[in-house]
Amino acid sequence: MLDLNVLGLLAYIIVSGLRSTVLKGLQISGAEHPIGGENPISFCNVFLISQSIVGLSIVLSDGRRSFTDINKLDRHGRWLIAADAFFGCFLAPMSFFLALDKLSVVTQTLLFSLTLPFTAVIALLWLKEKLPDRFWWSLALITAGLIAGKLLRPMEMNDPGSANQTVGVIWALVSMSSLALRNSLRRKLAVYDICRGLSAGIPNLAGAIAFAIIALQQYGPQHFFYLSFWWVLGVIAIYSITLCLGTELFRQFCQQRFPVAQVGLASSSTLVVTILSAAIFLGEPLPVATIICMVLILAGVTLRFAWPVRRD
């Protein structure tokens, strides 16, 4: 019989790994059910709903501390919170959505494996941290996987999808850079003794407000809710509550019960769940070359967690 902690770790891997597949499925469904010529599934209403749910849940769990802890922040700390809200809860998810809209789930997932090297380089340049153990081996394996999968190969000019692919890759690079920067911002923010309601809940709510404003200006109020069964079930029940909130809750569960390295290894292994679920549920092709690419990248992202480095 499996231990409850192990089940929680497996649930985190599965729930986190399904997010891109479900989001892509919603984008496809929205394209098939346009309103006024517009796809009712946009980064505006999807992240308005999901970040509102996650943000409110975290803020309510910490109660008044979510607001009173702001007194523990100096001017620099408040700027860090604002920057985290912009890069982590606005720019990163928006560009992630726009990249996924142009790329397949498999392509985007493999490409996003570069987030770990991006994070290490930004931490080196900004925080003056040392590169992680086996960084260059890890980067070499990830790069080899991307090249093997031909993800970064220049598109042929006569390929009608080449422009969309290029735009998708650009948005993916913006999202990865934002996520990497956010990781360094959070390391700087960690020196302040504040609750998660302030450090994570408030930025999520700020991002949700920004998405609401954009939706009102660009689409009007009718864009917020497409009250069909698939919209409510997909956006609110499955993506926002089950996957986004579920990922956050299971991450907290795992962080309290497992070492950082083990949680990092679990986070990396979600790549397999995402790619396999995209092949099964969305019918995305999974040729041998992609499997080889996935294995190389998985080896690269897990190398730093595989075994400890002996230090004399």
The pLDDT tens digits for 175-207 are 999 999 998 998 899 899 999 999 999 999 999
Q: Is 33 within 8 Å of 227 (Cβ atoms)?
A: no
Q: Residue 299 class from Cβ within 10 Å (0-12 exposed, 13-18 middle, 19+ buried)?
A: middle
145 — phi, psi (to 5°)?
A: -65, -45
Cα 279 from chain centre: 20
E-state strands within 24-125: none
Q: Report CA-CA distances (Å) from 62 to 55, 123, 159, 191, 200.
A: 11, 29, 52, 19, 11
Mean pLDDT of 23-27: 90
pLDDT category at 92 given cuts 50, 70, 90 is very high
For 284, half-sphere exposure in the C-beta direction (CA atoms, 13 angstrom radius) is 22
Cα separation, 22 vs 230, in Å, equals: 12
Residue 233 is predicted with a pLDDT of 73
Q: Is 218 within 8 Å of 44 (Cβ atoms)?
A: yes
Instruction: Report domain extents, the chain.
Output: 4-306
Residue 307 is predicted with a pLDDT of 58
Cα 16 from chain centre: 9
